[in-house]
Amino acid sequence: VWQFVEKYGLPSLGWVVLGAGAIQVASGLLKLGRWFRAVSPSVVQGMLAGIGVLIFASQFHVMVDDSPRGSGVLNLITIPQAIKKGVLPVDGSVHHLAAIVGILSIGSIVLWERFRPKLLKVVPAPLLAVIIVTALAGILKLPIKYVAIPDNLFSGLNTPVLGDGSLFATPAFWGTVIGFALIASAETLLCATAVDRMHTGTRTNYDKELLAQGLGNLCCGFAGALPITGVIVRSSANVEAGAKTRLSAFCHGIWLLLFVGFLPFVLQWIPTSALAAILVYTGYKLVNPLGIMKLWAKERSEFAVYAVTVVAIVVTDLLTGVLVGFGLALAKLLYSFLYLEIRVSEPQGEEGVDLTLIGAATFIHLPKIASELESLKDDRKVRLHLGSLAYVDHAILELFDEWRQRRSGVTELAWDDLQARAGKRLVLPE
């Protein structure tokens, strides 16, 4: 997008955002948003953790009044440098003062969340932390960085101008518009899926969410402003503060407009390291180390999808990482439908053979299953165990039925578990 803007000028940004907003409105009206729900829980959890790692790594540098590096990987591997700057002041720098403010902010949040009186439950811990460290920095007149807000935000409006219309004839314009709409929609709705996992309140209406974002981007386009997207940081902050309804997001926007548009001098008293510390703490909670251990103990394959998603997000970007995780989840699903294990055993003290099938029995496995059945002698008793199958199709059932009818030995069928799970959808031969 920025390469396009650099080539065609800043007014082109407004038209790009307008076009993307129009696509999102149309997609919401056509009810295409619901398709973004088709994401594996391990991918969503990996997305949350990946975002958490990126936030933690970048804001750790800001917490010591330093600048983030050029990528998530660089931010991670240079954290020891940030710690060194915060602990050992060099050449008269004030990194250690910013670090103290950041540590006090995190400490205030942790203590308030643990020992907060019931009567003051409505006071969010991050808000209290900001008030405390802002007052302390003001009293001590600490020479650290503070929030920088322009005196007049509305002077930055850049309404797009139609011009000669040649912009709309360039393939690059429409490619940028479509790409912008897809990326913004995907990031917003994937974050909405993640937020739904963080609370027990009203679930997201994906089509309505997509329509609303499209309308918002139409407004941003007319103002020549940057597009809007849903992000996990603000949403998780609302959830952590005890928000229960969508009104919290609306109020969030109202407070931002009030302070940034009309009370910028209030924000200019806040140390940058304090806000960064809140984000560092938020990033840690998004990673959720306890959830990682539970996922590892529950199912290793799901943990692999989760881990790959996290690494891909950190190394590349959010959308690419989610697509990689989604692809791996699809590969895992395909493998589960292709995997079939056949066990043949002869229990001691019992007559006959036990034949157990584990996995998914589909027409693809007909040759393998038929070969195993034909290797069993007709005059031997066979106990057929199908209860461990996750799926069995009609072709396999017909194979079993034909095999039973033409053999002379006794065949015992053990598929009650499979019948119970499949219900009336599965008709088994008698």
CB of 28 closer than 8 Å to CB of 210: yes
Q: How far apart are CA 177 and CA 20, in angstroms?
A: 5
CB of 213 closer than 8 Å to CB of 59: no
User: Up-side HSE of residue 323: CA atoms within 13 Å toward CB?
Assistant: 9
Tokens coding 90: 């060099």
CB of 128 closer than 8 Å to CB of 106: no
What pLDDT sits at residue 423? 47
What pLDDT sits at residue 427? 46
CB of 217 closer than 8 Å to CB of 21: yes
What pLDDT sits at residue 58? 93
User: CA dihedral in degrees (400, 405, 411, 413; nearest 10)?
Assistant: 40
Q: How far apart are CA 22 and CA 200, in angstroms?
A: 32
Least Cα distance to 22 among 185, 151, 188 occurs for: 185
Q: What residues contact residue 84 under an 8 Å CB cut-off, 6+ apart?
A: none
What pLDDT sits at residue 296? 86
Q: What residues contact residue 174 under an 8 Å CB cut-off, 6+ apart?
A: 19, 168
User: How many helices (H) and strands (E) would you count in the chain?
Assistant: 19, 5
What pLDDT sits at residue 386? 80
CB of 231 closer than 8 Å to CB of 192: no
Kindly give the residue spans of alpha helices, DSSP state H, lying in 116-152.
125-140
* Cα→Cα distances 378→54, 69, 113, 348, 351, Å: 63, 72, 71, 20, 14
Q: What residues contact residue 86 under an 8 Å CB cut-off, 6+ apart?
A: 63, 64, 95, 96, 98, 99, 102
Instruction: Tell me the torsion sign for CA atoms 205, 210, 213, 218.
Output: negative
User: Up-side HSE of residue 361: CA atoms within 13 Å toward CB?
Assistant: 25
The region that residue 352 occupies, defined by phi over 0 for left and psi between -120 and 50 for alpha, beta otherwise, is: left
Tokens coding 178: 């479509």
Q: Within 10 A of 169 (CB to CB), how many other CB atoms are there? A: 9
The predicted model scores a pTM of 0.74
CB of 61 closer than 8 Å to CB of 98: no
* Cα→Cα distances 233→65, 223, 259, Å: 21, 25, 19
Q: What is the mean pLDDT of each run of 10 residues along the chain (430 residues)?
A: 67 83 91 80 86 92 92 92 86 88 95 86 87 94 89 66 68 82 81 80 85 90 80 77 80 85 86 94 87 84 91 87 89 86 82 86 89 84 82 83 80 62 46
